[in-house]
Amino acid sequence: MRLSAAPFVLLTALVLSPSLHAAQPLLPEATAYTSRDSWRQPIAPFALADRTWYIGTEGLGAVLVKTDAGAVLIDGGLPQAADMLLANMRQLGVAPSALKLIVHSHAHIDHAGPIAAIQRATGARLVTNAESAVLLQRGGFDDLHFGDDMLFPPAHADRIVMDGEVVELGGIAFTVHFTPGHTPGSMSWTWTDTKNGKPVRIAYVDSLSAPGYTLIDNPRQPRIVDDYRRAFAVVRTLPCDLLLTPHPDASGWKLGESNTPTTLTCRAYADRAESAFDNTLREQRDTAAKGKR
Ligand SMILES: [Zn+2]
């Protein structure tokens, strides 16, 4: 074993010159992102349809679609879910090298967190849109609403898709629908699987919430309200026999209790989200009006 004296020399130098930079403030402490326990609660993978499997945690969606040409992963949850996802894939007969594509909903730590690690472990290609690619590459830095509070390992895009584009693997066509608002690059994905001999049109629809967002006169996203309105309209018309959302409980799943829920329709999901959005908007308009009086 080779010992290096360097750490000792460095330490001595620091100890001997304590006042050299004493007047300067400390650099900021790293801020950790804490989350609900259910978001970190592993559950056994289960089938949503013949080729489509839920492999996420109780509170954060991750979906695996097995095709004849390899598998597709949709979302991953938090960064610390990477090993769990790889183990779940293996359990379903998908070796790391068989994962070919990663697609996702939006570039926040609780959905895109493990993408970089999964890319590294599998070599799968990450498919995203231009808006999300920027945020993924920055690892969440300078988020329009959260600043630098929700950082995650940066991931690089391998393919940029446009609204309505189809990504195909092994005979399954995944259509991307831009549903901006929660992030400017928010995406929803639809594809058709089968169950009990019948086609099932599955919609993995992005978050439509506006958690703590400034909706009026937001200098970073001046057209944020228009963006949300567009997303609500798009979601209402999606092919949608089975709805799943990045936060499963938002679409009626209670995965702590059951894997066979009565989920919302896409229309009901959009309606519910729009009325919550309208309430927030009304509150912010009232507050703004009071401020001007
Ligand atoms: Zn989010």
Determine the Cα–Cα distance for residues 233 and 106; give it in Å rounded to an integer.
18
pLDDT band at 130 (very low <50, low <70, confident <90, very high): very high
Which tokens hold the place of 152? 């995650």
Task: Give exposure, 98-124, as e/b (b: 16+ Cβ within 10 Å).
Answer: bbbbbbbbbbbbbbbbbbbbbbebbeb
**Ligand 1 center to residue 258 CA distance, Å?**
24
Q: Which residues are catalytic?
A: 106, 108, 110-111, 182, 213, 247
Determine the Cα–Cα distance for residues 27 and 34; give it in Å rounded to an integer.
21
3-state secondary structure of 83: helix
Rounded to the nearest 5 percent, the helix, strand and coil shares of the chain are 30, 20, 45
Helices (H), the chain: 6-16, 82-91, 109-112, 115-122, 130-137, 224-236, 266-292
- Would you state the pLDDT for residue 29? 74
**Ligand 1 center to residue 39 CA distance, Å?**
13
**Ligand 1 center to residue 79 CA distance, Å?**
14
DSSP conformational letter for 105: S
Q: How does pLDDT run across 182-197, given as a tens digit for each residue? A: 999 999 999 999 999 9
**What single letter denotes the amino acid at residue 258?**
S
Contact between 242 and 203 under an 8 Å Cβ cutoff? The reply is yes
| pTM score | 0.88
Whole-number CA gyration radius for the chain: 22
Averaged over 66-71, what is the pLDDT?
Answer: 98
pLDDT band at 292 (very low <50, low <70, confident <90, very high): confident
**Ligand 1 center to residue 112 CA distance, Å?**
9
**Ligand 1 center to residue 107 CA distance, Å?**
7
Alpha carbon 56 to chain centroid, angstroms? 12
Contact between 284 and 214 under an 8 Å Cβ cutoff? The reply is yes
Residue partners of 69: CB distance under 8 A and separation at least 6 = 100, 169, 170, 171
Task: Give the β-pairing of 159-160 and 242-244.
Answer: unpaired
Bigger pLDDT: 288 vs 22? 288
**Ligand 1 center to residue 182 CA distance, Å?**
6
